[in-house]
Amino acid sequence: MSDTARKRVVARGRVQGVFFRDTVRRRAEAAGVAGWVTNRDDGAVEAVFEGEAGRVEELVELCRSGPGRAEVSDLDVADEPVEGLDGFEIR
């Protein structure tokens, strides 16, 4: 499983109320990537992606620009140890 990666991202800008979480969930499920996505109290969106490294990176890139009406001004990305998550959820 050396090709498995886990990344945590925090997207800032106009990222809430623009279907960011639902778009990320749909794309993650289609890609077979596990994890979760949530709105934070500070107005950011935070997500964890775990799965095949290339697919995880595709989701990180999606978060860089965001879906449709989103305007991402800043994206923090951090590598984390793989935990073996299963499924993807909106929290």
User: Tokens 């935070």 sit at which residue?
Assistant: 46
> 6, 14, 21, 69: which is the annotated catalytic residue?
21
41-to-12, 61, 67 alpha-carbon distances in Å: 12, 23, 20
> 8, 12, 14, 39: which is the annotated catalytic residue?
39
For residue 26, indicate whether it is catalytic. Answer: no
For residue 25, indicate whether it is catalytic. Answer: no
What's the burial of 60, exposed, middle or buried (CB within 10 Å: 0-12/13-18/19+)?
middle
Catalytic residues: 21, 39
